[in-house]
Amino acid sequence: MTAASSGREAFGTRAGFILAAAGSAVGLGNMWRFSYQASEGGGAAFVLVYIAMTLALGIPLMLAEFGLGRRGQLGPIGTLRKLGGRAWGPVGYLFVAVGLLILAYYSVIAGWTVRYGIEAVAGGFARSAGDHFGAVASGGDAVAYHVAFMIATTLIVIGGVKGGIERASLLLMPMLFVIVIGLAIWAATLPGAAVGYRVYLQPEPSELMSPAVWRAAASQAFFSLSLGMGAMLTFASYLRRDQNLPESATIVAFTDFGVAFVAGLLVFPVIYSLGLQDAVSASTVGALFIALPSAFEAMGTVGRVVGLFFFIVLAVGALTSAISLLEVVTASVMDEFGMRRRTAALVMGTVITLLGVLPAMDTDALGLMDKIAGEFLLLAGALALALLAGWRIPSEVRAELLEGASPFWQRQVPRIVAVLRFLVPPIVAIVLFFSLRETIAAVSAYLAG
């Protein structure tokens, strides 16, 4: 039975699926989280390990999600139960919970980007950037922008796979690529650009073996590729059998990495040409939002125009990622409770909006939620998916990945499955252990005030 004849919604075009998956991947993770994890994880060393993780673990895991999703033709709860057996149902519920938690704080940060974008046009960025960030990032204003962003996200998801998600991605993603490249070219003309490039691109060899760097890099690779909570799985469940899955996953991963990398070519020169590195290495969730607006403001009118485009990119990237998070939750509720799309999206959108009030009031809570859901639970989910695809049903996953793949990619499929069996689980398990320790420490620090 094909997706179409089953009555399940489906993407209309191959490019639509790829851009929707790339839209899920490219988001705040590429800039906000990338820069703050890079500063926690030692700059260029982090970037190097992050690339290795994306290629060695990220692409195979994305293929696990693509294969499971297209095979299952349901959201994560239904697909895991159908393919893995009853015991896997709870893992699907975990994915939905992770989606709720991530979107709750993700939408708050997205709200900050909208707010800064508006400021670029109306009057410019404030001079006392740190104080101003405090006002933007918490309290009533932050709640209001978060609510507005959730409304936009919910409306697109109500529009459905083809009329909402695919249409938004086909329109927004090309625009995002053009702006990011334009901004990076502009940054190359700044006086201090070379120093910024050097910090960004020259790794400190001693840091390459540090567990902290590995943890930050693995967590960033999964977060940025939207892996470990069923977002890619859900999108693939709307596919017909003719999509070349291995090729699609490779394109999506390189696009995501490309945008993160090019964004770094913008962020680092801007920060170093204005001597703002201390604001960033203070390493808080707000680093990017404190350093960059003050840089833009110092550059006068040009800075405001650049700043406007920069925040448009962030908001657009955030929107296409947010719709994938809400889609995971919506699809599962539709499958499980037989709800209509509109009702499911409205109910779950409202729940997430309410959950987001906490991180909108308290940036420490936001950082903690990112640690628990954006790092620890995604790693745990990635491990579960690798075990399911690589050990529980490897021959089904292999058969699914072969279907629609060109001969070149068909030859890679056995390797991909072998990586899922032997390479991904041990590495993720080790990183998960370090992440657990860190997460426990972070939770107790938060509770101690």
When the beta carbons of 313 and 405 are compared against ligand PHE, the nearer one is: 313
Of the candidates 138, 100, 37, the residue with the CA atom closest to the CA atom of residue 322:
100
If binding is defined by CB under 6 A, does position 229 make contact with ligand PHE?
Answer: yes
The residue behind tokens 């705040």 is: 28
When the beta carbons of 145 and 223 are compared against ligand PHE, the nearer one is: 223
Minimum Å distance from CB 192 to ligand PHE?
28
**Interacting span for ligand PHE (CB under 6 A) from 3-11, 151-159, 219-227, 385-393:** 219-227
CA-to-CA distance for 114 and 146, rounded, in angstroms?
9
CA-to-CA distance for 166 and 23, rounded, in angstroms?
10
| Residue at shortest CB range from ligand PHE | 29
Characterise 2 by phi-psi region: left (phi > 0), alpha (psi -120 to 50), beta (else). beta
**Interacting span for ligand PHE (CB under 6 A) from 125-133, 287-295, 321-329, 332-340:** 321-329
Of the candidates 284, 333, 54, 303, the residue with the CA atom closest to the CA atom of residue 183:
303
Number of chain positions touching ligand PHE (CB under 6 A): 15
When the beta carbons of 113 and 284 are compared against ligand PHE, the nearer one is: 113
If binding is defined by CB under 6 A, does position 288 make contact with ligand PHE?
Answer: no
Rule CB under 6 A: which of 85-114 touch ligand PHE?
102
CA-to-CA distance for 78 and 69, rounded, in angstroms?
10
The residue behind tokens 């989280």 is: 33
Phi and psi, residue 240, nearest 5°: -90, 170
If binding is defined by CB under 6 A, does position 223 make contact with ligand PHE?
Answer: yes
Tell which one of 285, 325, 401, 424 touches ligand PHE (CB under 6 A).
325
When the beta carbons of 31 and 245 are compared against ligand PHE, the nearer one is: 31
Residues 6+ apart with CB under 8 A from 164: 155, 156, 157, 158, 323
Rule CB under 6 A: which of 11-30 touch ligand PHE?
24-25, 27-30
If binding is defined by CB under 6 A, does position 320 make contact with ligand PHE?
Answer: no
The Cβ of residue 62 has, within 10 Å, a number of other Cβ atoms equal to 30
Binding residues for ligand PHE (CB under 6 A): 24-25, 27-30, 102, 223-224, 226, 229, 231, 321, 324-325
